[in-house]
Structures are given as C-alpha cells and as structure tokens.
Structure 1
Amino acid sequence: MKLVKSLLIASVTMVLAINVQASVSNQDAARLGASLTLVGAEKAGNADGSIPAYSGGLTTAPASFKAGDSMRPDPYRGEKALFVINGKNVDQYKSMLTATTVALAKRFPSYRIDVYPTHRSAALPQAVLNNSVKNATSARSLQGGMTLDNVLPGVAFPIPQTGVEAMWNFLLRYQGVNINAKYDSWSVDSAGVPSLAVTGEAFVSFPIYEDLTKPINNADIYYQMKLSYTGPARRAGESIMLKDAANPLAQPGRAWQYLPAQRRVKQVSILAYDTPNPGTARALELYDWTLVGKQEMIVPYNTYKLTYVQDPKSLTTPNHLAPDFVRWEKHRVWVVEGNLKPGAKHIYQKRRFYLDEDSWAALASDQYDTSGQLFRGSFAFLSQSYDQRVPDATPFMTYDLARGTYNINGVVGPHGGIKYTEALSKAQWCPETMAGAGIR
C-alpha cells in the first residue's frame, strides 16, 4: 500500500513538473533595470545605432498639445524619411520585413515603405513597471501555459521562456484601463473602390488594471469590448460585445451580437475566434506557440499621422493603404509562431506575431491558410498617448492577399481621437443591455 501511495505521489509530482512553467531565477531577474528595462526589453541600442538606447519613453507632450485633449499632435512631424523600400529593393531588406510587407512590395509598384528615425517612445505607469519586475520571479504558467498563477497586472513574464508566455505578455499588456472612441472602418475591394463598412462607438475595458495590487485570477475578465454601430444606415443599431477571461480552457473567449432585424441578443463564436486583428490572439488554446526569438524588424511605429487623420478616405488607395500616412521604424521585436494543434479547427493553420519589445504590442502578424500559403497579413499602428503613459494601437488593418482586398479599422481622427474615461457600470457590460442600446 505504501509503495502504491509513493508511486501515485511521484506520478502527480511528475505531471505537475510537466505542466508548470516556473518563474526565472533571481539572477536572471536582476537583469531587469540593469541590462534590460523593467518590461524585459534590451536597454542598449543596436550595433549600428539605428535603434537607440531606451531612455524612458515619450512622457512629455509637445507644446502644441492641449491638456485634456484626445487629439494628440505628432511630436516627430518635422522628420524626414531616412530611406525608402519598394518592389525594386525589397529583397535587400526582406529579412527585416514581415512576409506580408514583402508580398505587397513585390505585387504593387505603388507600395512604399518610408523608414524614419527610430524613437523608443513606449512608456508605462511606474506601478505597472513595478508589478512586471515582481512577476519575473513569482508568476507561473500552468497547464501547458494556458493558465496563470500569481500574476500581477503588468507584463506577466518580462523574461519569457516560451512562446505562450510571450503571447500572455501581449494579451495582458497595459493599454489603459477604460477607453472610449468613436471610429470608422473602411474596406477597399479588389477593384480599389473604398466603402465605409461601419461607423461606431467603442468602449474597451481592461478590468484587471482596476486594482494593481490584486493578482489576476483565472476567472477574471482581462479584456472586454462593446461596439455600437451608428452607420451606414444598413448597419445602424447593430452591436457587439466581446469578453476574454484569463483561463481560456475553462472559459473560452465569448462574443454576443445584436441585430435590430432579429430583435434579440445571441451568443456567437465566429467573432470570438476568427477576427483577423493583430491586436488580438483569440483562440490561444488552439495553437502550439514557439518563441522564435528576437530580431530587428522594420515595422509601423509612432503613426500619429495615421491615427489622428481627419479625412479617413485619404488613407485608402487601390491595393494598399496610402504610403504617405504610414511611418515605419526599425525596432526589436519578439517573433512568436503559432501552429494549429492536431485536431483543432481554425481558418489559420499558422500565425506569426511580431511583438514590440518595449510595449509588448503586436505590431504585425502573418496568417497562413490550411495549405500553408500566406493568406492574410495585419498591422497595428502604435502611437504613445504621452499624456497618459499608454502605448495605444487602436487603428489596425488587415490585407486579404487571396482576394486582393483590405480593411482599416479604428479610424478615430474624424471623431475626436482616443479618450481615457471612467469605467462603465457592471450592468452595462451585461449582454442583455445590448438590445436596448441597439434600437434604431
């Protein structure tokens, strides 16, 4: 009997060892604040100086900024591009570009990548930075990385050991606490004709940041979004609600939709799992994640001109976004690849994310179909909300390379920019409230 008991204990211990990813050692954690920033980025610049050393990020607003305003002037407006990449010279730089970027440059002679001086502008509140340091030695991932233990709001794993830990850093990163913005979504068809997909109002909440002293519970909702469409006329009155919990195994991402014609709220799955947004990685549990490593990449960054554009239609040109509005810079990114688990179903067989080392935002992603072909590519447009210490990536876009179409979402400039607001009541986050708010 004692032998059986001993074997059972040994078996359980082995299972726990396999399924628990321990935090890093005190020696490794001591690099935070020394050679690494408090969120795990390399403090030093790169060898040729094209990426500068990190000096705290952008925390001072330009003189043209009006305190309390939600429209943020571009602090780098007067800078000129250092060089330009296009179809003629793209092979020279393809090791520093996403697969989607290379494909677009080779496919369209009008596609252009204007590369500007690099500014490591990302900055976070000190309390979030302090939590990130604590997480280095105390946070753990469980059940193959799908669940978390003893993680404080902040960067969960500032020195990631696995791909899934890097993805949790991305999902749980600080983006403010409560955000409100009116926005447009524009689609451009294969003939190059732009059309307004929706105009709406978004409320986005990150409840885990309401109390920075409270570890994240696996049942906690870390992200929720509520969208109400006001236009065009055929979409007015529709609404969507999304919620993601910290344990996708026990509580997968949920989505609800209200359609005025049906007069009812229904829970749906397609929105929860197939939305092609680089700012989300829904269905985390369906993939095996590999930490490919860190590399220098040319990516959209400090895109104030795009984020706060007044005429959204000027962004759209046939085949691709207007190059004049996209600022590209060289930054170090973590490359994380997800491959669909055997037996799992998703429209993407493989996904590759490019995570900014300073903010942990996904600056871009490549998506591959079931035949292994590049299917879609996405970009998020990061700009520092310097008055709030928030790296913001509200605008994002997706190219459908198979159909020759693209969409840009989160265009907030025509509607007053990005506002950081008070929390909505708990009642307003109940799906049942969508019906009342969605009546035309």
Structure 2
Amino acid sequence: MALIKSLMASAMSLAMVAVAQAAVSPEQAAKLGQSLTPVGAEQAGSADGEIPAYSGGLTTPPAGYQAGSSMRADPFASEKTRLVIDGKNAAQYADKLTASTRELLKRYPSFHLDVYPTHRTVALPQRLLDNTRKNAIAARTTGEGLALENVLPGVPFPIPGSGYEAMWNHLLRYQGFAINSKYDSWNVDSSGNATLATTGDAYLEYPLFDPKRNDVAAAPEDIYFKTKLYYQGPARRAGEAILLVDGVNPLEKARRGWQYLPGQRRVKLAPDIAYDTPNPGSAGSSTYDDAWVFNGAMDRFDFKLVGKKEMYVPYNTYKLNYHAKAADITTPNHVNPDLMRWELHRVWVVEATLKPGKRHIYSKRTFYIDEDSWIALASDEYDARGQLYRGGFAHMAYSYDAQAPNSDNHMIYDFASGSYNITGVYGPYGGVKYIEPLSKAQWAPESLAGAGIR
C-alpha cells in the first residue's frame, strides 16, 4: 500500500510539473511591457525599419471621423503605396507571401498587392493588458491543448509555447464585448459572376470580456463566443436564422447550434454547423470552420507552432471594409485589389495537420496570426493529396473609437473551382456597431422563431 501511495504521489508530482510547464516563468513574463509589448508582440521594429517599433497603437481618431459614427474614416487615406507586388516580381518576395497569395499572383495577371507603410494600430483596453500579464504565468490548456484553465479576460498566452496556445489566442482575440452589423455575403464564380448569397443581421458576443467580470477566470462551463444571425435576403433565404455557442472546454461542452427555417416554422438543433460541413452561404466553397479564417474546436488537428515570420498581409483595410458599393469589391477572379491594403507585419505561423483517424476535407492548414492583435489574418488549406486547395484572408481594421480590432470582413478562395466568397461586407450598411449585450431571453434558441417567421 505504501508503495502504491508513493507511486501515485510521484505521478501526481509529474503531472503538476507538466501542467506548470504550460505557463511561462515570472522571468519570462517580466518581458511583457519591456522587450515585448503587453500582449506579447516584439516591441522593437524590424531590422530594416519597414516594421516600426510599437508605440502604443492608434489612440486618437483621425480628423475625418465623426464621434459616435460606425463608419470609421481611414486614418491613412492619403498614403501612397511604397511597393506593388504582381506576377512579374512575385518571386522576389515569395518568402514573405502566403502560399495562397503566391497562387493568386500566379493565376491572375490582374491581381496585385498594393503594399503601404506598416502601422501597428492595435491598442487594447488597459484592464485586458493587466490581465494578460497574469495569464502569462497562470493560464493553461487542458485536454492536450483543447480546453482552457485559469484564463482571465485578456490574451490567454502572450508568450505561446504551442500551436494550441497560439490558436486559443486567436479564438479569444479581443474584438469588443457585444457587436452588431448588417452585412452581405457574396459568391463570385469562375466566370466572374457575383451572386448575393445572404444579407444578414449579425450579433456577436464575447462573454468573457464583460467588464463586470474582469477579475473572474473562465470556468470550464463558461461560454467564450456567441453569434446569432438573422438572414434578410435574398428572398429564398429571408427569414432563416442561426444561433451558435462555443465554450472554453469543448471536451465537456461541445459547440451548440440551432437553426430556424421558415418553411418548417420551428427551431431545431443543428450540430452539423461546425468543422468541415460545407457552408451553404458560400455555395460550398468554404467550410463552417473557415469562417473568420478559423473557428470552433481544435480536436481534429495537431497544431504545431512553427515560429514567427515577417509577411505581407491584409492590414488596416479601412478602404475595403467601409466601402459602400459591393459591386466595386466583387470583381472577377479576386477581390478588387485597388481596394485592398497590404502591410508587412510579423505573424505567428501555426501548422495544423489532420490527426490519424479524424475526418476533415483538409489534410493540412497553415495559419498566420498577427502578433499585435492575435487575429488570424490568413490561411492556406490543403487537400488529401497535399495540394493547395483554398486560401483565407481576414481584413482587419482597428476600431479606434472602441479600442477593438475587427476582422468580421473575411473571405476564402477556392482554387479547385476558381471561385471565391467574401462575407461580412458591412460597408453598404453603416459599418460595425458596438452595442449593449442582448438579454438572456434574446440568446435563447426559441428567440430565433420570433424574429425569423415571414
């Protein structure tokens, strides 16, 4: 019996050491606010000066912004491109381009990258920065990286030690507490025809960022993300509605989804709105977990932290996000490159490889996560043969009036079909609004029927 107790004690000690290694030491955490920014990005600029040192972000709205407006003026509207990358000079910059960006430059002579001066605009609320320092030494993943423990509102892992930790930083990225926007989703086929997939009214909430619970660590039963979508068009989809809920421990509480279809006039469970189920709103050119570049549980892939790279990525895309005419955006083959803004930024690279015995249409995925906002700005998706299949991009524009980066405008290219989908096109409808949270009754699945009947 004594021997058994001794072995059990040793096993528990080893387990505790293994858990403790998931966090960083106080000495490492002390780098936050020094050589590292409060969220874990490199404080210094790049060696060539193209990426500037972090100076606190964009804290003053530009002169053209009207206080209280959800249409945010572009603070860099007068800037000129410093570089244009196209098919002719792409090889010169290949190491700083995602595989999908290189493929677009190779396929389409009309595609190009207008590269502008880099601006590190993101500045999160101080309460989240304070919590991020605490998270660095206390937050942990459990369940082999699939769930969270002891995470306060802020960046969970500002000094990530694994691909899972970096991806959790993306999943729990700060975009505000409660958000609303009316938006369009467009599909553009290989012939260049643009079709309106949906017009929707979206409500997104991140309950962990409720200011009232700033000192409360996430519990296993807590929800970190909720979204409710009411479809208003086109006519064939008007009246549909979807509600999704994601928890910090998907091992114990998997994603819950509900759907309302006017023809059936009832709310039903929708467990398939996850993973690689084709998203009907993109005409099947994307999966549900492609939304926002990646969302949902991570249990079907092994996530490896490759390291950090300097990459040309969409950034400060005010011109695109707040453009009022969708027809100008949805040009044949690719989004209108004249409305895009690309900048050189440091990104964390995470490779996701399909686990043996798990099912997904992608065998491998590569994610590029911004060091300043922890938003996944781009991705490459590969099929079962290892061939490049799809590529995603998120268009981040910092809401300087709300201290919140936003990347709800995102898209995916399907290289197999030559089509693409762009969703979250909110410019025609007045932009992104930061609102009071919905009531508990409004988040009940039954509420979908009350608003969805036509």
TM-score bucket of the superposed structures, by smaller chain: over 0.9
How far apart are 1:219 and its partner, in Å?
1.2
- Matching of residue 170 in structure 1 with residue 170 in structure 2: yes
Deviations 1:371-399 (A, max 9, x none): 21111111000011001110111100010
Aligned position for 2:403: 389
1:279, 1:393 within 8 Å by CA — same for their partners in 2? no
1:214 is aligned with what amino acid?
V
2:122, 2:398 within 8 Å by CA — same for their partners in 1? yes
- Matching of residue 244 in structure 1 with residue 246 in structure 2: yes
1:71, 1:417 within 8 Å by CA — same for their partners in 2? yes
How far apart are 1:368 and its partner, in Å?
1.2
1:278, 1:364 within 8 Å by CA — same for their partners in 2? no
1:82 is aligned with what amino acid?
R
Deviations 1:220-266 (A, max 9, x none): 11001000000111110001111110001112222221111122222
Q: Counterparts of 1:29 and 1:13 in 2: how far apart (Å)?
A: 24
2:203 is aligned with what amino acid?
F
Q: Counterparts of 1:205 and 1:31 in 2: how far apart (Å)?
A: 31
Aligned position for 2:98: 98
Q: Counterparts of 2:84 and 2:57 in 1: how far apart (Å)?
A: 26
2:238 is aligned with what amino acid?
A
Which of these residues, 257, 260, 267, is aligned with residue 255 of structure 1?
257
How far apart are 1:12 and its partner, in Å?
4.0
Q: Counterparts of 2:443 and 2:110 in 1: how far apart (Å)?
A: 44
Deviations 1:7-51 (A, max 9, x none): 233334445545664311111111111100000000100000000
- Matching of residue 365 in structure 1 with residue 367 in structure 2: no
Deviations 1:102-152 (A, max 9, x none): 001001111111110000001110101111011111112222122222110
Unaligned runs of 5+ in 2: 277-287
1:326 is aligned with what amino acid?
M
- Matching of residue 269 in structure 1 with residue 283 in structure 2: no
2:412, 2:421 within 8 Å by CA — same for their partners in 1? yes
Matches within 5 A, 1:7-86: 7-15=7-15, 17-18=17-18, 21-86=21-86
2:22, 2:161 within 8 Å by CA — same for their partners in 1? no
Q: Counterparts of 1:75 and 1:221 in 2: how far apart (Å)?
A: 35
Q: Counterparts of 1:212 and 1:319 in 2: how far apart (Å)?
A: 45
- What secondary structure does 1:170 align onto? helix
> Alpha carbons of 1:21 and 1:351: their partners in 2 closer, same or farther (altered >3 Å)?
farther
Q: Counterparts of 2:221 and 2:151 in 1: how far apart (Å)?
A: 13
Aligned position for 2:428: 414
- What secondary structure does 1:317 align onto? coil
- Matching of residue 235 in structure 1 with residue 242 in structure 2: no
Task: Report how many residues are paired.
Answer: 440
TM-score by length of 1: 0.98
Aligned position for 1:87: 87
Moved more, 277-286 or 13-22: 13-22
How far apart are 1:319 and its partner, in Å?
0.7
1:101 is aligned with what amino acid?
T
Moved more, 139-148 or 363-372: 139-148
Q: Counterparts of 1:135 and 1:213 in 2: how far apart (Å)?
A: 11
Q: Counterparts of 1:214 and 1:138 in 2: how far apart (Å)?
A: 13
2:292, 2:408 within 8 Å by CA — same for their partners in 1? no
TM-score by length of 2: 0.95
1:21, 1:142 within 8 Å by CA — same for their partners in 2? no
How far apart are 1:369 and its partner, in Å?
1.5
- What secondary structure does 1:428 align onto? coil
Q: Counterparts of 1:343 and 1:268 in 2: how far apart (Å)?
A: 24
Aligned position for 1:280: 294
How far apart are 1:404 and its partner, in Å?
0.6
Q: Counterparts of 1:221 and 1:357 in 2: how far apart (Å)?
A: 25
Q: Counterparts of 2:217 and 2:417 in 1: how far apart (Å)?
A: 44
Q: Counterparts of 1:270 and 1:104 in 2: how far apart (Å)?
A: 31
Q: Counterparts of 2:20 and 2:130 in 1: how far apart (Å)?
A: 24
Q: Counterparts of 1:423 and 1:243 in 2: how far apart (Å)?
A: 15
- Matching of residue 294 in structure 1 with residue 296 in structure 2: no
- Matching of residue 346 in structure 1 with residue 348 in structure 2: no
Moved more, 244-253 or 395-404: 244-253
- What secondary structure does 2:445 align onto? coil
How far apart are 1:351 and its partner, in Å?
1.2
Moved more, 364-373 or 171-180: 364-373
List, as ranges, runs of 4+ consecutive aligned residues in structure 1 with deviation greater than 6 Å.
Answer: none
Q: Counterparts of 2:169 and 2:53 in 1: how far apart (Å)?
A: 22
Unaligned runs of 5+ in 1: none
Aligned position for 1:226: 228
Q: Counterparts of 1:261 and 1:373 in 2: how far apart (Å)?
A: 40
Aligned position for 1:379: 393
Q: Counterparts of 2:229 and 2:21 in 1: how far apart (Å)?
A: 36
- What secondary structure does 2:442 align onto? helix
- What secondary structure does 2:307 align onto? strand
Aligned position for 1:6: 6
Deviations 1:71-94 (A, max 9, x none): 001000011111111111111111
Q: Counterparts of 1:234 and 1:21 in 2: how far apart (Å)?
A: 53
2:293, 2:379 within 8 Å by CA — same for their partners in 1? no
Cα RMSD (Å): 1.3
Q: Percent identity?
A: 58
2:199, 2:232 within 8 Å by CA — same for their partners in 1? yes
